[in-house]
């Protein structure tokens, strides 16, 4: 298997990684169990942020600190606890509070599920990246090139029946549509 460094990945690859790992992250379970996916998601977000024009980064999650206010750092530390076989993160509420301040989450308590409002705030921060990245994507108008994939209709008798189109907008195309819990 070929291993690539994160720096060599395209912004689109990082974007896909961010979305997939956000979807996989079991936030409603625990920070420890979700740490691997959160670290992957935050790492992708950090590299995406570095590639965005400065004027587009206002309000996005910050990754500059070397403490728990940097969500990538926090997730990496918690992932380390998980790799050591620990069953829970140390109960240093200040570290956890620093992490959740990035997402404007109130009343964080150990042993309790995340509030729906907190999960929604975290999703909003991820979706801020989606909105910016989607705004940078251009779709140049033009006719399809011959020989390219069409919309799955095929040629000839009985070909292509029941295939979906290669691409279509979902009916639920709005901020937050990607990350529903």
Residue ranges per structural domain of the chain: 6-136
pLDDT of residue 28: 64
pLDDT band per the 50, 70, 90 thresholds, residue 102: confident
* 181/173 Cα distance (integer angstroms): 16
Q: Among the listed ranges 11-20, 81-90, 124-133, which one has the minimum average pLDDT value? A: 81-90
HSE-CB for 62 with a 13 A CA cutoff = 15
pLDDT of residue 56: 87
More confident residue, 17 or 29: 17
Mean pLDDT (whole number) for 72-100? 86
pLDDT digits (tens, 9 = 90+) for 39-51: 999 999 999 999 9
pLDDT of residue 23: 82
pLDDT of residue 4: 63
Q: Which of 138, 14, 11, 125 is nearest to 59 (CA)?
A: 125
pLDDT of residue 122: 87
């Amino acid at each position: 298997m070929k291993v690539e460094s994160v720096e060599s990945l395209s912004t689109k690859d990082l974007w896909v990684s961010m979305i997939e790992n956000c979807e996989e992250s079991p936030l409603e379970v625990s920070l420890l169990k979700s740490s691997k996916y959160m670290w992957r998601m935050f790492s992708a977000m950090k590299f995406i942020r570095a590639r965005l024009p400065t004027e587009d980064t206002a309000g996005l999650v910050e990754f500059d600190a070397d403490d728990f206010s940097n969500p990538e750092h926090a997730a990496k530390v918690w992932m380390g606890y998980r790799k050591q076989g620990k069953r829970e993160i140390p109960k240093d509420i200040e570290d956890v509070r620093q992490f959740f301040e990035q997402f404007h989450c109130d009343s964080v308590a150990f042993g309790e599920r995340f509030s729906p409002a907190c999960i929604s705030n975290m999703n909003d921060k991820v979706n801020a990246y989606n909105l910016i990245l989607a705004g940078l994507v251009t779709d140049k108008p033009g006719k399809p090139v011959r020989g390219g994939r069409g919309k799955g209709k095929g040629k000839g008798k009985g070909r292509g029946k029941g295939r979906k189109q290669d691409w279509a907008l979902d009916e639920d195309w709005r901020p937050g549509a990607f990350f529903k819990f």
